[in-house]
Structure 1
Amino acid sequence: MRAVVYTEGGDASVLHLVKREAADPGRGEVRVRIERAGVNPTDWKFRAGGELAFPEIVPGQDGAGTIDAVGPEVDGLHVGDRVWTMLAQHQRPGGTAQEQVVLPAANVTTLPDGASYDVGAALGVPAVTAHRALTTSEGGPDRLYRGAMDGLTVLVAGGAGAVGNAAIQLARWAGATVISTVSGDEKAALATAAGAQHVVNYREGDTAAAIRKIAPEGVHIVVEVAPAQNLALDLQVIRPRGTIAVYANNGGDEVTLNVRETFSTNARIQWVLLYTVGQDALRAAADDVTAAVADGGFAIGDEHGLPLHHYPLEHTAEAHSAVEDGAVGKVLLDVTD
């Protein structure tokens, strides 16, 4: 089989296409023949981050394909099942940028009938992160389904990004009113296509006043991508006992908190990182996201605010560079010829 590997940290030039023998699944594992793989910021950040956890690494947390082998003690998954993956590379050397990958059955979820491999590969990190951000608030749901967020207002910062797009789609599917902040008309169009009922350009006018005009009592949940830049705004628009769910550090690594301003809201700041949320939260997210896909609550492409960018497996380095350079939309690898 073909696989993309790296044996040292650095820029995208350390990625190489090689041929390897496919591994056999062990107890509690399945092997997936990957058709499509997703590329996320975590992929290039892990690669560029320095010391490697394994001598050789295949990048890629997300993918979609068909199970072609099943190990002992696996229930509910069978050879021939169409599936999508999450956290394929977490604490493992082999991710989804290869034709066949062995994974714990817990990291694999059946892909609904009619959903493309493109959709399956676009789930994983973005959709599961969005699910976590939407399900940790006081008085809010801990699971997502139609009607679960009726009456709630969600502010999504950066609605044109992959996580922002997923947060908008999932929140709308669950019944929330969604406001998204964006930097310009092009991204406003993407957030609107994803389903945001209200879009605010944070480069024009008083952003807090514009949000408060839409939600006079404040928003229940903020899905935040850039806390260093936006936390002051978030505290102005969050309602008492609301939740600011922070899933990335775009724009800076440090946040300064005014204690009185912060605690007067009785709001919580919820940190979101998939690698430590726990298996129960991951399983709940996988099940709910799959239900949303089956119910038409999550889709991809320009018409849903998530443009697609396809690269063949042998051009994985270019795909990584595209994500690192801020490609708008979802970057996918066409793994199978």
Structure 2
Amino acid sequence: MLTTRGHIIDGAGYAKSLRDRLAEHVSSLQEVSGKTPCLVVVIVGEDPASQIYVKNKGEQTQAIGMESRTLRLPDTTSEAELLRLVDELNRDPVVNGILVQLPLPAHMSSLKVIDAINPDKDVDGFHVTNAGRLAVGLDGIVPCTPLGSLMLLKDAAEKFGDTLRGKNAVIVGRSNIVGKPMAQLLLAQDCTVTIAHSRTQNLAEVCRSADILVAAVGRAHFIKGDWVKDSAYVIDVGINRIQVETPEGSKSKVVGDVDFEAAKANALAITPVPKGVGPMTIACLLNNTIKAFCLQNGLAIPDGV
């Protein structure tokens, strides 16, 4: 059992082990059903970050033996055209998972497009039906980043011979994509949950009360080291680019919402940025696609999915 503080939670390593398990599930499901799970990713426009995400999703989908399709649309595509494409994918029995890459161009409504996706194919877990299922404790598809964060938390706690049950959890960030579903997942683990945000009064004190601190506010180094309670678990969801000065000049660097070096002195376990929660997001997308495939084909969902 681990006993020291500042343990680094290896999200990249856990994601690889999850992908390896999922590849075994895909092989088994192919033998049982004669079918291959299929994920379709739709991207509209040329956003550079989205292009990288979509490329990685496609490569990792294929790497575990699933079918990957990427549909690239110009940013001149109308909202009506995108909605027609989503409807076609909903009706295609070969397609098990649909992901429309966000952000969309300004002339499109993300809410309208997400609402058009069949909830049973909504592998992002963003549809209001899946949000409702999570809120009332029914089985559904859970957003990938919160699901991956929970997996890392449970794994870290097990390594310390610990449990999440009864712990005080504080989530900084109230988005529909991370903050709110993360709260529901931790409530289901019997945690006492507070959702805080940038306008919470006495935010530092609220954070210091947390046995589990999840930072998802989208601001570089927003959570200071002395906001972290002694021996807390810290999950940093933030991905922020900042400029840092080096002997070679100014360079771009990816950092989280937590001041990592200061916080790890107090934290029992903490995710780094990068190689923390990020790799888990795509791994959980693959996980969700397999779950959707099983539900659509009347197959037993493999253990751990």
- Do both share a fold (TM > 0.5)? no
1 or 2, which has the higher helix percentage? Answer: 2
1 or 2, which has the higher strand percentage? Answer: 1
Q: TM-score, normalised by structure 1?
A: 0.41
